[in-house]
Amino acid sequence: MKPASRVNSIQEYYFSRKLKEVAKLNAEGQDIISLAIGSPDMPPSKQTIDKLCEVAHDPNAHGYQPTSGLPELHKAMAGFYKRIYGVEVDPMTEVQPIIGSKEGIMYVTLAFCNPGDKVLIPDPGYPTYTAVNKIFGTQIINYDLREDNGWQPDFDQLESMDLTGVKVMWTNYPNMPTGGNARMETFEKLVAFAKKHDILVVNDNPYSLILNEHPLSIMQVPGAKDCCIEFNSMSKSHNMPGWRVAMMISNKDYISWMFKIQSNIENGTFRGIQLAAAEAFNTNTPEWHRENNIENYRRRRVIAEDIMRALDCTFDPTQVGMFLWGRIPDKYKDVEDLTEAVLHKAHVFITPGFIFGNNGKRYIRISLCAKDEKMQEALKRIKAVGNF
């Protein structure tokens, strides 16, 4: 027996593979500090956890739930978009809860793309955009994001490309891994580009509340709902990565097409998680999470910048989100020359930028999802080694 060809078209996810190595090093007593993964280390609000516990004690709450999601969660998500972005969406037809953006990428690809269709994927960009499209047999066309352009799409470059057969364009603002912030000008150009070329633009937007004074959504652009989809998530904004609560925002037709796929793949999320997520959106917890997260991440960001300087890396101080993205010195032939030395000499795990694409090969990414004392210890270790 041989596996399907799609199995050989992808590799095990980098962090899945690398964390096995880190676990082995820890088992050997090396005490690796991880500054690699974007998994918030802070808990959700007390109200959120209390609601989960309350529902879990209800003996009638443990059966299958509707795949479409509870009305309470639909309404809470629509309320979040109105409150944070000023965007009106119909709670039951233009919002669809999903268990994560990874799953959303799959639903979009299956609902809009046939094998052989083309998709535009940013370089650098979230690796799952590439992996999912490889699995489903679409043709991947990378478009460049560059530091000298604020990590925004180059629309002159896009217009010069052969766009025949392109069905979907993936975007991600605020950007991961680069921290390039969302710009209304970019969103307006994306909507115009989508309409001109009959391309669906999908903006992945989980970072807009992290170290960002002015959260934006592509749905703020008039007409965006007609040609765009936006993902949003509670993982980063509400410290709930393991809860698996996210959403898709678009027009009712697009939502219905994706839901056909979703309903054949997953069952409804546990009732307690859905009602607790609604609680997090509806009470004062959105403000609590944002203020608490900004306070913590701002403090940690200062330490991350000191780590970048200790490694002689340069970075844009205006970037947002829960990571710090920096360019490595020219003396290193390859980014892993630095990241592997930091791992094995200083026992600190940071992310090499090559995993995000060719344009990330001269960059590293530091996560802010570690306690202050761990980040300070990482800085101390790196300074102690000195020369990598």
Residue pLDDT, tens place only, 162-203: 999 999 999 999 999 999 999 999 999 999 999 999 999 999
Please check whether residue 347 is in contact with residue 381, taking contact to mean a CB–CB distance below 8 angstroms: yes
Cβ atoms within 10 A of the Cβ of 137, count? 15
Signed CA dihedral, 279, 283, 285, 287: sign only? positive
pLDDT, greater one: 294 or 160:
160
pLDDT value of position 291? 78
Tokens (6 digits) for 363: 């960059």
State yes or no: pLDDT of 285 exceeds 70.
Answer: no
CATH class of the domain comprising 5-43+287-385? alpha beta
Instruction: Please say whether the beta carbons of 233 and 265 come within 8 A.
Output: no
On whether the CB atoms of residues 130 and 152 are closer than 8 A, the answer is no
Q: Is the pLDDT of residue 31 over 90?
A: yes
Residue where the block lists tokens 């027009």: 251
Could you give the percent of the chain with pLDDT greater than 90?
86
Q: What confidence category does residue 284 fall into, taking pLDDT thresholds of 50, 70 and 90?
A: low
Helices (H), the chain: 14-27, 46-56, 71-85, 101-112, 127-135, 155-160, 184-197, 234-237, 252-263, 271-282, 285-310, 335-341, 372-385
Phi, psi for residue 85 in degrees, rounded to 5: -115, -10
Write out the two tokens for 253.
């037709």
pLDDT band of 7, cuts 50, 70, 90:
confident
**Whether the domain at 5-43+287-385 and the domain at 63-282 fall into the same CATH topology:** no
Whole-number average pLDDT of the chain:
94
Q: Is 8 helix (H, G, I), strand (E, B) or coil?
A: helix
Indicate the CATH number of 63-282 among 3.40.640.10, 2.40.50.220, 3.50.50.60, 2.40.160.40.
Answer: 3.40.640.10
Q: What is the rounded average pLDDT of the residues 119-147? A: 96
State the amino acid at position 217 in one-letter form.
Answer: S
Q: pLDDT digits over 72-85, tens only?
A: 999 999 999 999 99
- Span between the terminal Cα atoms of the chain, in Å: 46
* pTM of the entire predicted model: 0.93
Domains of the chain, residue spans: 5-43+287-385, 63-282
